[in-house]
Amino acid sequence: MQLETMATTLECDLTVTTKPTAPIAGQAPGTSGLRKKTKQFMDGNYLANYVQSVLNTLLEENVPVSGGTLVVSGDGRFWNPEAIQIIIKMAFAAGVGTVWCGKDGLLSTPATSAIIRCRGAGFIPFGGFICSASHNPGGINDDFGIKYNCENGGPAPEKMTNKMVEWTGKVTELKFCDGIPDIDLSKPAVYKLGDKTVEVFDCVEDHMAILQKCFSFDDMRKLIARDDFTLTYDCMSGCQGPYARGIIETALGAAAGSCKNADPKPDFGGPESAWHGHADPNLTYAVELVKDMGLNKEGQKIATDKPPPSFGAAADGDADRNMILSSQFFVSPSDSLAFIVANADLIPQFKDGLKGCARSMPTSGALDIVAKAKGLPFFEVPTGWKFFGNLMDSGTSYYPDKPVYTPFICGEESFGTGADHVREKDGMWAVLAWLQILAKKTEAAGKLVSCEDVANEHWKTYGRNYYARYDYEGVDKPKAEEMMKMMAAKAGTLVGQEFGGMKMATNDMFEYLDPVDGSVSKNQGIRFIFEDNSRIIFRLSGTGVAGATVRLYLEKYTAPTGDLSLHQFDVVKPLAELAFDLSNLKEYTGRDAPTVIT
């Protein structure tokens, strides 16, 4: 590395100290790592127990920990700095030779994946710890999280996380290099501690380098330079700020201030912010952006003091999610995925064509229609980016006897979109994919083309999947589980019956057989699918901390010859009423209305 010549030697004692501990219940990670209240992580050995369990698993699985390189950073939320220093001391005690950290301990989740895969010669680290609870609020009274990503840059697979959980149930000792001082992460530097090294580097450069290989920055600069094009990118005080400024403003030439709320804060803006510190890019929480773009939280047009920008986007706390809008128009995440795949030929990354695409099961079937029309291999997977990762790694050294599906695009209805350049969803990639598509379509049309124009063109070709998600946050978990169990018990018994004038084609609990590694994932959500392709889906979220979050997904397909101009939330309301009858949701949860509609 270039910083090697500027190394600073830190004299310290590298003696490994062993401390007794006892297992702590409830350390099984969800779909995106272990998430709990910040105070719980700060209490006693809670963080250390989990980190030690991960390290023990890696050693047991013969991962090259000894002398190896480990990435340790996070999304900048409260207690990140302290957690990173603890992990560094434990990593060196486990035999790690080098730790890589982003400046200020800051790395977005997709950037962490990019660094594991591409920094230096590429695939140098054996993995990385990401201190993040993604879109969950940050602060001492809110949420903290941690997850481990493997040497491919993607989340640890279930077979490995299961072993980590086993270790949390039997861990009895913790190992630290207590003699190591806290490392200064405030500036790029290399620190030598005996035979150990800590390298601190700019958090943006590696992610931007890989994105420059995916897109034409020249095309996007021309679009952004147009007098009739304006944009705004709301970083919601999460860790996307440095990336947005470095890429959107500096590299692409957007006006200074185009990226708003771009200073990362440990509480993501906190209770005093318009979004109350909930850095989640959707119509409910991204209130400043939604208002700026001339919409309300239902996605309906409102009057504005000045013309809304041509293009708007938002990011979440760890920058893996995205929301896309144009002037007084909201692009649903399910549609966004389908639109990008339909226009992939305009993106340099896919100049030789796509070889595969996938969506999570709750995501609308808009992608399915595009994949079928284009003859692309298509997959429907459970919620969780690790399932996409297996498909992207198919045909590589990990699974050499399996088909190759890359170049590959995938996404989830929960505002996550990405491709095979990394093994995480990538909010910046999604924004640049849209800017690339708009740039090429604008160039071809000889006039500015908007996201709304792209949507209308798409629907006239493929039809429209009217779609909405209702979230019921913080409900009583036993009651929510009881509701899911009741619906699961009816699997298959409703087929052929009519509900609201629609005949039931499928009612089941979704189960996934991974075509790459052969693993089976059960209990992945309740499905009610009708013969006209309308769908009602129920899931319990795996990313919450307090209580349970019930997610209800509603979808109604309209052919190209039908009415494509209706508001999606209005179209699916009759399905919502039917869903309440099928689930008895109001009785089980005590809720008359959802917390969030997206």
Digit-coded pLDDT (tens) for 215-252: 999 999 999 999 999 999 999 999 999 999 999 999 99
CB 554 within 8 A of CB 527: no
Digit-coded pLDDT (tens) for 301-354: 999 999 999 999 999 999 999 999 999 999 999 999 999 999 999 999 999 999
The fraction of the chain above a pLDDT of 70, given in percent, is 98
In the predicted model, is pLDDT for residue 5 greater than 60? no
Instruction: Quickly state the pLDDT bin for 290 (edges 50, 70, 90).
Output: very high
Q: Which of these CATH numbers, 3.40.50.10540, 3.40.50.720, 3.30.450.20, 3.40.120.10, describes 2-203?
A: 3.40.120.10
Digit-coded pLDDT (tens) for 391-404: 999 999 999 999 99
The fraction of the chain above a pLDDT of 90, given in percent, is 95
Query: What does the pLDDT read at residue 157?
Result: 87
How far the first Cα of the chain sits from its last, in Å, is 44
CB 105 within 8 A of CB 84: yes
Task: Map out the domains of the chain as residue ranges.
Answer: 2-203, 208-462, 464-597
In the predicted model, is pLDDT for residue 533 greater than 70? yes
Same fold, 2-203 and 208-462: yes
Query: What does the pLDDT read at residue 596?
Result: 87
CB 317 within 8 A of CB 324: no
Instruction: Quickly state the pLDDT bin for 6 (edges 50, 70, 90).
Output: confident
Instruction: Quickly state the pLDDT bin for 1 (edges 50, 70, 90).
Output: very low
Q: Which range is least confidently modeled, 53-67, 494-508, 535-549?
A: 535-549
3-state secondary structure of 15: coil
Active-site hit among 108, 134, 237, 332? 134
Q: How many CB atoms lie within 10 A of CB 287?
A: 18
Query: What does the pLDDT read at residue 299?
Result: 94
Digit-coded pLDDT (tens) for 470-495: 999 999 999 999 999 999 999 999 99
Superfamily holding 208-462: Alpha-D-Glucose-1,6-Bisphosphate, subunit A, domain 3 (3.40.120.10)
Digit-coded pLDDT (tens) for 123-149: 999 999 999 999 999 999 999 999 999
Query: What does the pLDDT read at residue 159?
Result: 87
134 labelled catalytic: yes
Digit-coded pLDDT (tens) for 424-461: 999 999 999 999 999 999 999 999 999 999 999 999 99
> Whose CA is closest to 266, among 41, 77, 42, 39?
77
Q: Which of these CATH numbers, 3.20.20.70, 3.30.310.50, 3.30.479.10, 3.40.190.10, describes 464-597?
A: 3.30.310.50
3-class secondary structure per residue, 465-480: EEEEEEEEEEECHHHH
For residue 84, what are the CA distances in angstroms to 72, 90, 186, 339, 583? 7, 10, 13, 39, 43
